[in-house]
A and B are shown apart, each in its own frame.
Chain A
Amino acid sequence: MSSPKDTPNVYTAARPPPAASVGLIGWLRQNLFSSFSNTILTLVSIYLLSLAIPAVLDWAFWSSQVSGDNRFDCKVEGACWAWLDQRLGQFLFGFYPDGERWRVILAFVLLFAALLPWLTTGVPGQRYLRWFSIAYPFIATVLLAGGFGLEQVPTDKFGGFMLNLIVGLSGIVLSLPVGILLALGRQSKLPLIRWLCIGFIEAVRGVPLITLLFVSNILLPIFLPPDVTLDSIIRVIIMVTAFASAYMAEVIRGGLQAIPSGQYEAANALGLNYWRSMRLIVLPQALRISIPGIVNTFIGLFKDTTLVIVIGLFDILGIANAMVSNPDWLGLSTETYVFVAVFFFVVCFSMSRYSMWLERRLSGQRH
């Protein structure tokens, strides 16, 4: 007789999971056919995709054409990309003189060097690169507009994607500090400053950007002294900055409100004055919280740069419009606009992915 205690434990080996719940079949069952309604959704989606994907691929690649001098050479059913080699330069540089385009490319390459130290860490020589990026706006202006021995290029020759980048980047760089000041002003204890900031923010956020661009084109010349004229690109940059900074201010205000009041009080107790407590304690935390909103505002601003066509500037969309109405290439509108859309998608999508990466990295740093 042995007590139950003495019986040796007998382990049976675990049986393998049912074949239908692992591997490819398991995945399919779990993710595509888990219920009756899901099965129907999946089948409908597959049917729609089987209609759409071959049609789009066929239009864009299989039955497209890449060579030809004008639209009469386009004899295919699908897309006609024959204009690309003739017009790509215009899409990128506008009417910038052919021989000087290396300056734009150089400015574009230097842009990455200027942006790098701010976008990530661990770049060799980060400190010196930051000095370089502070100098970059002046270097870029000289490169693009001329001076110091470079041939002058009037700004009405600027155009294409280069114009979108100029307006977008200037707006981004300028709207962040202005937005921070507006957000701080809106929280200020001084009533006059608070009301001025609220008035500005609400007025700008209440109207479409298009009306502000009309203001820059029609009213700014009326407001300025009769003998002063401002370059049209500068006027656009001013308006785009004003517009984006009002939105930026609201995003940052959200971040400021999320900071517990203990932080403000602790900064006061340490004897920091207003600007120091903001710069050292409050803003670093508030800005970190607002990163997704800030990047969304940047993306919105960059997309809004296409609006300059309504006041007669030729950004990449303006060039596309001009090409579509050109008798040589009449009727190729779908190809042209799809091509432009790809440009914006690449830039905006990578911006949003970058912000997600940054958010993940910073959330790891929080204590």
Chain B
Amino acid sequence: MINRTTLTNLWFNKRGRGYLLQLLVLLGVTTLLAIIASNTIANLQKAGLTSGFGFLGDQAFFDINQRLIEYTSQSSFGRALVVGLLNTVLVSSLGIITATIIGFFAGVLRLSDNWLVSRLITAYVEVTRNVPLLLQIILWWAILTSLPKIRDSIPVFGTLFLNNRGLRAPAPVFEPSFIWVFIVFIACLFFTFLLLFWARRRQRRTGKIFPVGLTALALVATVPLIVFFSLGQPITWDIPARTRFNFQGGFNITPELLALWIALATYTGAFISEIVRAGILSVSKGQSEAALSLGLRKNQTMRLIVIPQALRVIIPPLTSQHLNLTKNSSLAIAIGYQDLVSIGGTILNQSGHALEVVAIWMAVYLSLSLATSAFMNWYNKRISLIER
């Protein structure tokens, strides 16, 4: 009977029960994994498939229209995946920048005391948030591809041309001497940082305020411009010119990229505007009143008191919206923009290496999101209110 008493003791002891429960869960999970593994091996053998990442070196045999690096159909699967990853990065960074700008403007305007403007922004937010993103992407794509043919392109601002093959825009051509403008620009930036550092130290020591903002603006904006003009404007624009069937010069943004960009930016922008609104509302009015009565000027109040406190609320959900946008860019597959998932899907169909391709997808997106949450935790720790 010893066996039974130990068992009952184990059951009525809180710690013992915990161990028992965890042991059972561990057993269950390992059994499940073992079953899946054996099934996978059996299924792969039955289908005559091999596993391993060796296939990444094989020739791809398919074309990719949208590419940032050299790629031909003779290139390898591995290179195709890199092209796809770069396309994901391209549309996500474009989308993140635009969505953040839209979101900040919309969030501030929605709080405006102008009845009409705040209603309009509300309508925008409600409509974009309550319609599936995939549908919005396809709708934008349908609209962009039903634009007139190249022959009847719609000119925008004279140098941009919209047609059913996308947007043709002037391309900047840098002459070799442009490098000097760039070097001067970087030098000015560096000098501004030094200035900021010095001004802060002087203010801490003596209390005197140095107008860093104005000086920095003068430095960073004017000096490179002076160099630019004194070198004889070493940048020219390759403006698209209409030929009989197509355009000569400039560069083309495909309707797929454009549709995905617009849809991701407006959709995520609506979510960001809600975050910004909540952030601004979270700073109590007493804060800005107190700052004003301490003698801070209005823009100082905004810059030193309101915005830092609002950002504390805004930044964590903002980063997760940026991450969402990156993940949502995988919906590109529906309109044929060749991102990581879409190219992975093609490779998966051609080579049959489903496990490996899915593993690559998961690895890429997981590392992106883990990096984001690591940043978020670091930021939260840095800015969290230290009470008492």
CB pair B362–A222 under 8 Å, yes or no, is: no
Q: Is the CB of B130 within 8 A of A349?
A: yes
Residues of chain B with a CB closer than 8 A to A193's CB: 21-22, 25
Report, as a range, how many residues of chain B touch the other chain: 35 or more
Q: A34-B113, A38-B113 are in contact. Are A345 and B131 (CB under 8 A)?
A: yes
Q: Is B366 an interface residue (CB 8 A)?
A: yes
Given A31-B113, A38-B114, A211-B341, A226-B134 contact (CB < 8 Å): no
B residues less than 8 Å from A219 (CB atoms): 354-355, 358
CB distance from B333 to the nearest CB of A (A): 6
Asked if A317 and B134 sit within 8 Å, CB to CB, the answer is yes
- Complex CA distance for A324 and B141, rounded to whole angstroms: 13
Stretch at the interface among A54-62, A112-120, A283-291, A304-312: A304-312
Given the interface pairs A307-B331, A345-B130, the reply to whether A207 lies near B114 with Cβ below 8 Å is: no
Flag if B114 contacts A41 (CB, 8 Å): yes
Q: Are A317 and B21 in contact (CB under 8 A)?
A: no
How many CB-defined contacts (below 8 Å) exist between A and B?
157
Contact of B358 among A46, A211, A305 (CB under 8 A): A211
- The verdict on A269 contacting chain B, using a C-beta distance below 8 Å, is no
Is A232 interfacial (CB 8 A cutoff)? no
Asked if A333 is an interface residue, CB under 8 A from chain B, the answer is yes
Q: How far is the CA of A324 from the CA of B146 in the complex (A)?
A: 12
Judging by beta carbons under 8 Å apart, are B40 and A303 in contact?
Answer: no
A42 touches B39 (CB 8 A): no
Shortest Cβ distance from A37 into chain B, in angstroms? Answer: 9
Q: How far is the CA of A226 from the CA of B38 in the complex (A)?
A: 11
Contact with B along A45-71 (1 / 0, CB 8 A): 110010000000000000000000000
Interface size of A by Cβ–Cβ distance < 8 Å? Answer: 57
**A contact face: mostly helix, strand, loop, or mixed:** helix
What is the bound-complex CA distance between A192 and B368, given in angstroms? 25
Q: Residues of A contacting B134 with CB < 8 Å?
A: 306-307, 309, 317
The distance from the CB of A206 to the nearest CB of chain B, in whole angstroms, is 4
B126-148 to A contact mask, C-beta < 8 Å, 1/0: 11011111111011001100100
Tell me the residues in window 174-232 of chain A with beta carbons closer than 8 Å to chain B beta carbons: 189-193, 196, 202-203, 205-208, 210-211, 214-215, 218-219, 221-226
Given the known interface contacts A193-B25, A196-B25, the answer about A38 and B112 at a Cβ–Cβ threshold of 8 Å is: yes
> Counting CB contacts under 8 A, is B26 at the interface?
yes
Residue in A211, A223, A307, A344 whose Cβ sees the most chain B Cβ within 10 Å:
A211
Give the shortest distance, in Å, between B329 (CB) and chain A (any CB).
8
Q: Which of B18, B43, B370 contacts A222 (CB 8 A)?
A: B43
Question: In whole angstroms, what is the CA distance A41 to B370 when docked?
Answer: 42
Binding site for B on A (CB under 8 A): 30-32, 34, 38, 41-42, 45-46, 49, 189-193, 196, 202-203, 205-208, 210-211, 214-215, 218-219, 221-226, 299, 303-307, 309-310, 317, 321, 324, 331, 333-334, 337-338, 340-341, 344-345, 348-349, 352
A-B contact pairs, 14 of them (CB 8 A): A41-B112, A46-B116, A207-B365, A208-B328, A211-B362, A219-B355, A221-B43, A222-B39, A222-B355, A310-B333, A317-B135, A341-B131, A345-B130, A348-B130
